[in-house]
Chain A
Amino acid sequence: MNVRRWVMPVVAVAALVVIAAAPGLLSPFMVQFVINLFMLAILAESWNIIGGFAGYASFGNVAFFGLGAYTTGILITKAGWTLAMALAAAAVVPMLFAALVGLPILRLKGHYFAIATLGVAETMREVVYNVEVTGAGTGLVMPIARTPALFFYLMLAILVAVTLVNAWLAHSRFGYGLVAIREDEDAAAAMGIDTTRYKTIAFAISGAFAGITGGVFAYWITFIDPDAVFRVIVTIQMIIMAVFGGAGTVAGPLLGALVLASVSELLSTQLVALAELFNGLIVILVVLFMPKGLLEVVKAGRGSFRVMARNLREYRV
C-alpha cells in the first residue's frame, strides 16, 4: 500500500475537522474575517476554472456574484423563498446566464474577451440600477440572521466543493482538455476537443460558484445595492489572489486568498487610510516579482531572490 498517496487527503480531512470547530473557538471578529476569507478563496478558486485552467482571463466574474446575490435577495424578500431554495437558485441562475453569455463571448480572445466580460458586469450593474424588482438604487434589505456560524459553514461547504472541483479538473480528461485549450486552442481543436463545449462548461461552473457565494454574501451582509455587489475590485481581487497563489493549480488560489486577505485585513486595521495604497503597491510587486505565483518563489528556498530577479527580466521588452 502506498502510504504517501494517503498523506495529503488525510491531512486535508484533519484540517477540515479543525476548521469546522473554529466558530466555537475563535472570537466573533475572527469568525467574520474567516467568512470573508472563505468567500475570497471561493471566488479565486472559481475564477481559476475559467482563468487559470482554461486560460480565458475573465474580468467580469463579479457579474455572476452580483447576479447570485440579487437572485437570493429578490427570492427571499419578494417571493418568500427559504434560504436553501434561494441559494440553490443563486447557483443555477448565474450558471445559466454564464452559459448563455458565454456562447457569443467565448469566441473572443485575449483582451477582447477580458473587456467583453467587464462590459457584461458593468451592463448588469446598470440594468439592476434601473429595474424596480431589484430595488433599483435603494437596494434590498434582507432579514437579519443572528447566527454567524451559519455563514461560516455555508462558505466552508462551498469552498470545499469548489476546491474538489479544481482537484478533479487537475486530474480529469476534462481538465486536461481545458489546459490544452489554454496552451494552444487550435491544436486542441485539431485533436478533436469540442472547445466551445469545454469553454462554456468551464465558464458555467465558474459562474455557478460565484453566484451561490453571492447569495450567501447577500444574506450575510443583510443589505445589497448595485454598488455593493458589482464592484470591479472584487474581480481584481479574485484574479490577483489566484495569480499570487499560482493560477492553474489547485491549492494556489486558496493560498493566495489566505495570504492576501490576511495582509489586507491587517493593513486595514493597522494602517487605516493607507491600506489601499499598500494594496496597490502589493499588486504591482506581485506582478513584477512573482507572476507565476508565490509557490514558485518559495520553492527555490535560498535561490528565491534569484527567481524573483529572473521574473523581473523575463517578460520585458
Chain B
Amino acid sequence: MTTRESQRRWGLFVGTLVSAILLAGGIAHAADEIVLGTAISQTGKYAREGKFYVDAYTLTVDAVNKAGGVKVGGKTYQLTLKMYDDQSDPSLSVRLFTKLVTSDKVNFLLGPYSSGITIPASAVAEKYEIPMIQGGGASGKIFDRGYTYIFGTLPKAELYFQSAIEAAAKMNPPVRTAALLFSNEAFDRSVGEGSRQWLKDAKIDKVYDEEYQPATQDFTSILAVIKTKNPDLILVAGHEENSLNFIRQAQAAGVNPRMMVFTVGPPTGDFRKTLGRAAEYVYGVTPWLPDMEIGGDIFKSARDFDKQFQPRFGYAADYHVASGAADVLAFKAAIERAQSLDAKKVREALAALDVETLYGRIKFESTGQIAMSQVLVQILDGKVVPVYVAGRFVNKPVYPAPKWSERK
C-alpha cells in the first residue's frame, strides 16, 4: 500500500471515530418526560459511596413514576434518569455534566458524590444556569461562591459535630478534654474548623488537634500520642475506611476514651457489620434515621422508604441514600410548585421550597445549602440509637463507654 493510501485509511478511521462521538450524544428525548442527568462515581475511589446515590436516584424516580409522575400544566410527565460514571475524576465529571447539559439536553441535574467533585461540577450548572441539587457534598466551599443554581441536601460541614460536642459537655460527668483528628480534605477540614469553635464554646480543652492524609490506614502512631494525652472525647472526621481502621486500632492499642464520635460510619449498615462487637458504644452523627417520625410525598415515612429500599438493593438505607432521594423529591416539588419546566422558574421554586419529606424538612438557606441539624447517635446492641438532637437528650447514652478490656 502506498503512503497516500495508508493516509487515506487513517483519515477514514479518524473521521469515523470523530463522527461516532458527535453522534454518541444528543439523543432527543420524548415529549412527556423530564430528564434528570448526573455523573456519579461508579468506579474509582468513591465507587462505594457513589452506589448509594445511584440506587437512591433509581428507586425514587421509579417511585415517583409509579405514583403518577410529575404534573405540570395539566400534563403528566414521567421522570427519566441519565447517569454517567465520573470514575471519581473531577475533570471527567465536568466534561460529563457539560455533555448532559449541552448534548443530552437534560432538564435538570443531580449532583455527584464528594465535595471535591461537587465544587467543579456545580460550576457547570451555574455556567449553563441549570439547577443542580446534590446530596453528596457538605463543604461550605460549594456554597460560598455566590452561585444561585446549586442546592445541597447535606447539612453544613462546620456544624457536623455541634450536637456531639454540646451533648458531651452535658454528660455526667461532663467531658473536659477532647482530641480532634480530621482528614486533609475539603469536607473534613471544614468539620475541623467548626469543631474548634464548638469546643471553645463548650469550654472543653483541646489536647490534640491534628490532620491526617485521607489515604492513611495506619493510625497506630496517632493513637500512641493520643493515649498519652488521655482525652475524654475523641472526634474523628474522615471517610468510612478511616473510621473503621481507627476503631480497630484503638481497640488493639488499648485507647479508652469515654466517648468516640465519627463523621462517617456508625449510621451505615456495613460499618456495623464489618466491625461487629467493636462498634459498640461508638457515636456517630446523621441527619436522618429510618425510625424518624418524618414523611411526606411518595414515601409516607422514613421507615416506608427503607422498606422499599432494602429488599430491592440488599442493604439498609442510610443518610446518603435518603439525601439522594430527597434531591429527586425536591425537584418534583419545585417543578410542581413552579408549574413549569423552565430552568429559571424551577430555580426560584427551589429557593423558596419548604416541604416535608422522608428525609425531613427540605428548606434551603440563601446559600443553597439545607439547614438541618445532626442527630448524635450511639451504637448499642448493634442498633443505631438516637441520643441527642435539637438541644436535648432523647435517649440515655451509655457513658462513659466501658474499657475495651472490660467488655464481653
Contacts and interface: CB of A to CB of B under 8 A. Distances in A.
Interface of A: 27-30, 32-33, 36, 126, 129-130, 136-139, 141, 144, 146, 217, 221-223, 225, 227-228, 231, 255, 258-259, 262-263, 265-266, 268-270, 272-273, 275-276, 298-302
Contact of A259 (B1, B17, B123, B185): B17
B214 interface: yes
Contact of A272 (B6, B84, B98): B84
A269 B6 contact: no
Contacts of B186: 137-139, 225
A137 B211 contact: yes
Given A32-B98, A144-B127, A259 B9 contact: no
Interface string B86-110: 0101111011101101110000000
B85 A138 contact: no
Interface in B1-36: 1, 3, 5-6, 9-10, 13-14, 17-18, 20-22, 24-26
A275 B1 contact: no
B116 interface: yes
Contact of A227 (B92, B116, B188): B116
Contacts of B22: 27, 30
Interface in B339-353: none
A192 B123 CA distance: 55
B96 A268 contact: yes
A300 B214 CA distance: 50
A301 B92 contact: no
Contacts of B26: 27
Contacts, number: 132
B118 to A, nearest CB: 9
Contact of B91 (A30, A228, A255, A299): A228
B145 interface: yes
B99 A29 contact: yes
Given A144-B127, A228-B116, A273-B43, A301 B6 contact: yes
Given A129-B213, A299-B3, A29 B102 contact: yes
B120 interface: yes
A86 to B, nearest CB: 18
Given A136-B184, A268-B84, A301 B1 contact: yes
B141 interface: yes
A143 to B, nearest CB: 9
Given A29-B99, A32-B95, A228-B90, A265 B21 contact: yes
Contacts of A298: 6, 9-10
B117 to A, nearest CB: 9
B17 A276 contact: no
A226 to B, nearest CB: 9
Contacts of A30: 21-22, 103
List the 10 closest A-B pairs by CB distance, nearest first. Answer: A301-B1, A137-B184, A28-B102, A29-B103, A223-B120, A29-B99, A223-B119, A272-B85, A273-B42, A222-B123
B156 interface: no
A144 B214 contact: no
Given A28-B102, A137-B183, A141-B145, A258 B120 contact: no
State the main secondary structure of chain A at its contact with B: helix
Nearest to B94: A221
A269 B90 contact: no
B84 A269 contact: yes
A163 to B, nearest CB: 17
A137 B211 CA distance: 10
7 contacts: A33-B95, A129-B213, A137-B186, A146-B127, A227-B116, A269-B24, A272-B84
In this complex, the member of A221, A255, A300 whose beta carbon has the largest number of chain B beta carbons within 10 angstroms is A221
A126 B24 CA distance: 39
Contacts of A231: 89
A130 B211 CA distance: 10
Nearest to B123: A222
Contacts of B44: 276
B258 interface: no
Nearest to B91: A221
B189 to A, nearest CB: 5
Given A222-B123, A227-B116, A299-B1, 12 more contacts: A27-B103, A32-B94, A138-B141, A139-B116, A141-B119, A221-B94, A223-B90, A259-B14, A265-B95, A266-B17, A266-B21, A270-B24
Contacts of B101: 28
A262 B17 contact: yes
Contact of A33 (B21, B127, B189): B21
Interface centre among A28, A30, A137, A275 (most CB of B within 10 A): A137
A268 B85 contact: yes
B116 A268 contact: no
Given A28-B98, A129-B213, A298-B6, A138 B189 contact: yes
B35 to A, nearest CB: 15
A263 B99 CA distance: 16
A32 B99 contact: yes
Interface in B96-143: 96, 98-99, 101-103, 116, 119-120, 123, 126-127, 139, 141
Contacts of B189: 136-138
In this complex, the member of B83, B184, B214 whose beta carbon has the largest number of chain A beta carbons within 10 angstroms is B184
